[in-house]
Amino acid sequence: PKKPIKEFGFAIAREDSTQLYTLSKKVCTQHPDSIHLEFLKLEYIDTSLLFKNPTPATLMPKKVFVKSYILQENDELIWGNLQKIELNWGYVENISATTTSITFDYVIDLGEDCVNATFDNYGMEYGFYYHTQPNPSENSHLGKVFGFIDDSFWGYCSLEEPKFSQTFIVQNLQPRTTYYFRFYAKPQNKIIYGQTFSVTTK
């Protein structure tokens, strides 16, 4: 808008989008003058949303609802579109693709309680199912890439910011094809699912 802005930011609510107007946690950035920006990026980290001890019970993704807003000097409130974000145990980065392969890193952040988290989940299988159809699962997939929480995690616990990064490579794929990847974990022989992303081969 081309009007003076009092503040802008985000309203955040957990689990229920109706809380945005009642129990929202607003992240505000003050700005005294009018702004004319084509693109603005704000980064916000809420430490209360981070899992410091990712036991099997907390591996399920959590939903957070977010709306951007602008409060003008005349106290007129303008809301942006509602966004739903799923919080997961880890995150994917460094995604790349060739005509027949896809490579990505999965990063697990065990936080301050790394030793207990590793002990509680030791031996647990985790990874990604993949398919050319959305929502691959244990019963419907073309393949999977996986790892285990094992002795290699103990070394990461000695770091100030213990993060375990594992590179997954999926080969023998079809060119110019979109593949869907879905995180899974198997605590105590039960399967739970997390984040999903898609990549298209060249």
pLDDT given for residue 19 in this prediction = 66
Please tell me the pTM assigned to this model: 0.61
Contact 184, 138 (CB under 8 A): yes
| Nearest-angstrom CA–CA distance, 149 and 123 | 5
Write the DSSP string, 74-99. Answer: T--EEEEEEEEEEE-SEEEEEEEE-S
**23-51 exposure pattern, b = at least 16 Cβ within 10 A, e = fewer:** ebbebeeeeeeeeeeeeeeeeeeeeeeeb
pLDDT given for residue 193 in this prediction = 83
| Nearest-angstrom CA–CA distance, 179 and 169 | 13
- Furthest-apart CA pair in the chain: how many Å? 60
pLDDT given for residue 137 in this prediction = 95
| Nearest-angstrom CA–CA distance, 40 and 36 | 10
3-class state of residue 48 by DSSP: helix
156: tokens are: 């990461």
Tokens 């700005």: give the residue: 31
3-class state of residue 73 by DSSP: coil
pLDDT beneath 50, residues of the chain: 1, 23, 32, 34-35, 47, 50-60
**118-131 per-position pLDDT tens digit:** 888 888 899 999 99
Contact 13, 64 (CB under 8 A): yes
| Nearest-angstrom CA–CA distance, 55 and 37 | 43
